[in-house]
Amino acid sequence: MDVEIKGITTTDPLPNLNKPHAIAMMRPWVDVGSVGTLVLNRMERSLHAKDLAKLTRPGQFFDFTRYRPMLRYVEGERRVTIPNTFVNYSQAEGLPDFVFLHLLEPHSFAEEYIDSILELFSVLKVSRYILVGGMYDVVPHTRPLEISGSLRMEDVDKSIAERFKVKRSTYEGPTSILYMIARKAQEMGLETGNLTVHLPQYVQLEEDLSGTDAVLGVLKDIYELPEDIQYKEKAEKQYRDLGATVARNPDLKALVQRLESIYDSKVPDRKETKEDPPLSKEVEQFLLDINDSFDKQ
């Protein structure tokens, strides 16, 4: 019989995990370019993750007219997959035990949803929580992608954040209620981290491999993960192909050149209050047009 923890059904028996580190993605918020999804999927495949838990009654939290169930044929039979929040785990020699959370934002009873996740953390004795993902920004694809967030972890070398240009996030504005998981996790005594890669707004790739590779690079150095966990060659090819597309479009080419100029004008040790050079009206309108078309999809 499965074990139920405040709305979550787990495998029975629960695996004996040793102060596991939780790596989470959040959909649809901050999963631009499917970065969070791809990072977790890559780590799970590499570390041979297994099922651990899911919500007992996902319909309590999710509107199934917004997150649609999927109908598929499996071995000649029609099967329905119901949207849910899934949790997997891995235990690999030489690495911490990991818990992987595929978080789906709730439409109702968000506080209960968060309490369920935190209770699972408590039962599993999770010691660290890291949220990974991507967001759009006015940056060029021709320069190294920047990562914002934080790494509040005692045993993580500060040079990792410096090497990968992990900058403290100064974002203000609409957010997800699920960010409360990190806040409450800190109150519980967990180490927390957040890695959000900034992706070129004019691209909006369904699967941005360069963004995924950037986040995986940080995690690889933190945990000394296998070298082949990254997408380096595929990521480089994807952006090379993008460059060829940009070269054929005069408007995009001019936009990228302007964004390169802004990017290159930044001084590494500048104060956070210093503003970037303003975009021209033409570039601003171009980005607004992209947003409008994206919102209508």
Task: Answer whether residue 291 shows pLDDT above 90.
Answer: no
Is the pLDDT higher at 162 or at 97?
97
pLDDT score of 64 more than 90? yes
Domain annotation covers residue 261? no
How sure is the predictor about 149, in pLDDT bands with cuts at 50, 70 and 90? confident
Greater pLDDT, 66 or 175? 66
What is the pTM assigned to this prediction?
0.86
172 falls within a domain: yes
Neighbouring-strand partners of residue 193: 130, 151
Residue 183 has pLDDT above 80, yes or no: yes
Q: Which residue's entry shows tokens 């410096």?
A: 162
Peptide bond into 200 cis (omega under 30): no
Residue 15 domain-assigned?
A: yes
Q: Check pLDDT > 90 for residue 166.
A: no
CA distance 137 to 197: 9
Q: Tell me, what amino acid is at 46?
A: S
Structure tokens at 252: 């995009």
CATH number of the CATH domain containing 54: 3.40.50.10900
Q: Per residue in 15-52, pLDDT tens?
A: 999 999 999 999 998 999 999 999 999 999 999 999 99
Convert the chain into a string of H (helix), E (strand) and C (coil): CCEEECCEEECCCCCCCCCCEEEEEEECCCEHHHHHHHHHHHHHHHCCCEEEEEECCHHHCCCCCCCCCEEEEECCEEEEECCCCEEEEECCCCCCCEEEEEEECCCCCHHHHHHHHHHHHHHHCCCEEEEEEEEEECCCCCCCCCEEEEEECCCCCHHHHHHCCEEECCCCCCCCHHHHHHHHHHHCCCEEEEEEEEEECCCCCCCCHHHHHHHHHHHHHHHCCCHHHCCHHHHHHHHHHHHHHHHCCHHHHHHHHHHHHHHHHCCCCCCCCCCCCCCCHHHHHHHHHHHHHHHCC
Q: How many domains does the chain have?
A: 1
What confidence score (pLDDT) does residue 75 get?
Answer: 85
Query: Is 80 exceeded by the pLDDT of residue 5?
Result: yes
pLDDT digits (tens, 9 = 90+) for 222-275: 999 998 898 889 999 999 999 999 999 999 999 999 999 999 987 554 444 344
Residue 141 within any structural domain of the chain: yes
In angstroms, how far is CA 181 from the centroid of its own chain? 15
Average pLDDT estimate for 179-186: 95
Q: 92-101, 241-250, 279-288: lowest mean pLDDT where?
A: 279-288
Cβ burial 50-88 (10 Å sphere, 16+ → b, else e): eebbbbbebeebbeeeebeeeeeeeeeeeeeeebbbbbb
Whether 282 is in a domain gets the answer: no
* In-domain check, residue 292: no
| 109 inside domain | yes
Residue 197 in any domain: the answer is yes
Q: What is the mean pLDDT of the chain?
A: 88
Instruction: Give me the domain span that covers residue 21.
Output: 3-231
